[in-house]
Amino acid sequence: GTWSSPMTCATGHHLVAFRLRVEPPRGLWDDTAANNLDVTCSDSQVLEGVGGLAGTWGNWSAPCPRGQGVCGLRTRLEPPQNRGDDTGLNDLHLFCCP
């Protein structure tokens, strides 16, 4: 794939929540898994991802507590399937810090 242009929260604000668009397993068809990401900034601005349209949006994550922002992340990746269908990114957790 290709990298999209960077998006940032307004000066003085930080990322506090996200939602992920994920396509469920398709059986014999090509699986894509995570396809898009939207994030919310501490000023309530939503930065909309420019990823794919396949799948459905999950719920918004719980926002970071007031005065905190995202300071780390953990991803769930499917290991290489060798002769099977690889999906790559399947889930995301964000961590909040003061």
Q: Do 17 and 61 form a contact (C-beta atoms < 8 A)?
A: yes
DSSP state of 40: E
**pLDDT at residue number 38:** 95
Structure confidence by residue, pLDDT tens digits, 19-73: 999 887 776 667 778 888 999 999 999 999 998 888 899 999 999 999 999 999 9
| Separation of first and last alpha carbons in the chain | 34
Q: Which domains does the chain have, with CATH numbers?
A: 15-97 (2.100.10.20)
Residue 98's contacts (CB-CB under 8 Å, 6 or more residues apart) are 67, 68
**pLDDT at residue number 10:** 97
